[in-house]
Amino acid sequence: SIKSNFLVLDKFIQSKFKVAFGNRIMGQLHKFVPVYVACGGTEVEGLDFMFANKILRKFENLNLAFLQEELNQLTAQIKKIFGKNEFELSLEYIKELKRQ
């Protein structure tokens, strides 16, 4: 399922970046995604929006110069889990992080 795929992504980020989603963000996900879908979006788009705006924003506090390979691995992991035409917001945000 999409949510179990999201948990795989959570574990990947915890192991590579030492950043956890946390219970508050997971709670927000459970409330936000159904509303996003009700407004005409897809579940994956809702997860992408939350991931880009809640999780990847935390990466700005990391030393990104030393995490370029991990960011490449994250991009590959997202494409592997969700497909290369999904999670567009997050993939674009990761590109921006790599430029910093």
Query: Hunting for tokens 């997860």 — which residue is that?
Result: 47
Query: Using CA atoms, how far apart are residues 41 and 64, in angstroms rounded to an integer?
Result: 31
Per-residue pLDDT of the chain in tens (100 residues, 90 and over written 9): 777 888 899 999 999 999 888 889 889 999 999 999 999 999 999 999 999 999 999 898 888 889 999 999 999 999 999 999 999 999 999 999 998 8
- Supply the pTM of this predicted model: 0.89
Query: Using CA atoms, how far apart are residues 89 and 42, in angstroms rounded to an integer?
Result: 14
Q: Tell me the CA end-to-end span of the chain in Å, nearest whole number.
A: 34
Q: Which of 2, 6, 1, 5 is nearest to 55 (CA)?
A: 6
Domain boundaries, given as residue ranges, for the chain? 2-99
Query: Using CA atoms, how far apart are residues 45 and 49, in angstroms rounded to an integer?
Result: 6
